[in-house]
Homo-oligomer: A and B are copies of this chain.
Amino acid sequence: MARIAKAAVLDRIGGEFEVKEYEVPEPAPGTFILRTEMAGVCGTDAHMYYGHLAGVPYPIVLGHEFCGILDRLGEGVTHDLRDEPVQEGDRVIMLPGVACGRCYFCAVARTPNRCTNSRVYGFALDDEFPLAGGFSQYVYARFPGTGFIKTDLPARVAVLTEPINIAVHGVNRGRVYAGDTVVIQGSGAIGLATLIIARYSGAARTIVTGGPARRLELARELGADVTIDIGEVRDADERVRLVLEATPGRRGADIVFECAGVPAALPEGLRMVRDSGRFVEMGHFTDMGPVEINPHWHLMQKNLDLYAVWGGGVPYFLQAVALMERREYPYEKLVDPIIGLGRIKEAVEAIIKGGWRMDGQEVIKIAVDPWKEE
């Protein structure tokens, strides 16, 4: 007897997320069906709603951060990415991206995050199969080789693996050394995840700029030594001054992570790095417009290394889960609120133009439970 899945389908840029019903297929060999437990609403989902990303085919089921229960395993799907045996009923974190392994970026440059043939669940796929994003009760992981990791983390924590994997990639690329002073611009999910990973990587002093207040409270609870609320300190020069004062010798931070995704954050952050320091650009997954920088003052004079970090990948997911399973941070506090399929439009509006508020409350990371009634 056929099973039915509800999924939220976005019909066009700026359109509606209509909840529709689809039949759940039987998985082909090498593929599987996931029963979605929770899916994060990413800033990129919101930007896709507003049309800031090129090449997205509408209608589409969004949602690329998700976890759930292995529902049906196609033939040959027997182990997870940690070589652990799996069976139907296991909770897994599913990786949204599937790289081809053969193209120039996979085989030569060895950066499959730029794979030219990649498939990403919740993004542009090659057809219009609807059960291909996390904002759906079931996901059909129909590309052989789709990665997943079995875990006993609660769904509310496991759902954070994707943004944490990006933070891991960023910290790997930029390198945090034991004892470093670290600035993180932005207090959204990626910013807070970067705070955790930077602390795990030996940061002795962490400074977070962002907002709103509730997120900065959480940053402090996660160990940030200094937080600067951009809603209160509205002048960039003043923010730069405050950050420099909080660094050894007022030289600036050893490393700055740009996780705000606002163009103006780039030159502001570059001013916060010490000479011979490092800067990691990891906030601009979509085109938010250009910004002026000064090649002499912001780059050359600083003798700077800058790493622009696109997405994550298999190694970073594994690193993320290994740390999350230590349960040393209150990850569940990063997820709030949890909404049903019917409220996704409210969520993306809150992210882009609603001042990060839903129901009169400041949100941290909004997640979707596709089984929730409303």
Task: Please give the residue numbers on chain A whose beta carbons come within 8 Å of chain B beta carbons, in ascending order.
Answer: 81-83, 101-102, 104-114, 145, 147, 168, 171-173, 175, 177-180, 197, 200-202, 204-205, 248-249, 251, 258, 263, 266, 274-276, 281-297, 299-310, 314-315, 318-323, 325-326
- Could you say which of A108, A172, A307, A314 has the most chain B C-beta atoms within 10 Å of its C-beta? A108
Given the contacts A82-B249, A276-B111, A281 and B299 also touching, CB distance less than 8 Å: yes
Q: How far is the CB of A325 from the nearest CB of chain B, in Å? A: 8
A200 to B310, CA, bound (A): 26
Complex A-B, nearest 5 residue pairs according to Cβ-Cβ distance, in ascending order:
A101-B101, A179-B319, A299-B308, A179-B322, A204-B322
Tell me how far the C-beta of A83 lies from the nearest C-beta in chain B, rounded to whole angstroms: 5
Chain B residue numbers with a CB within 8 Å of A110 are: 110, 315
The listed residue (B202, B251, B307) touching A305 by CB distance below 8 A is B307
CB-contact partner of A202 in B202, B248, B301, under 8 A: B202
Q: Within the complex, what minimum Cβ distance (angstroms) separates A77 from chain B?
A: 12
- Chain B residue with Cβ nearest A297: B287
Which B residues are in CB contact (< 8 Å) with A307? 304-306
User: Smallest CB-CB separation from A82: which chain B residue?
Assistant: B248
Asked if B275 and A109 make an inter-chain contact with CB atoms under 8 angstroms apart, the answer reads yes
Known: A171-B178, A290-B292, A291-B295. 13 other contacts (CB 8 A): A81-B107, A109-B315, A111-B275, A202-B202, A204-B319, A284-B296, A284-B300, A285-B296, A288-B296, A289-B294, A291-B292, A303-B310, A305-B305
Q: Would B111 and A101 count as touching, CB distance under 8 A?
A: no
A241 to B201 Cα, complex, angstroms: 29
- The docked-state distance in angstroms from the alpha carbon of A1 to that of B286 is 58
CA distance A309 to B306 in the complex (A): 11
Which of the listed residues A168, A258, A274, A310 has the most CB atoms from chain B within 10 Å of its own CB?
A310
Q: Which residues of B contact A263 (CB under 8 A)?
A: 294-295
Query: A287 with B294: in contact, given A202-B197, A275-B105, A305-B307 (CB under 8 Å)?
Result: yes
A288 lies within 8 A of B281 (CB): no
Q: Are B300 and A296 in contact (CB under 8 A)?
A: no
Choice from B175, B202, B275, B308 contacting A302 with Cβ under 8 Å: B308
- Residue numbers in B under 8 Å from A287 (CB-CB): 294, 296-297
Q: Which residue of B lies closest to A114 (CB)?
A: B275
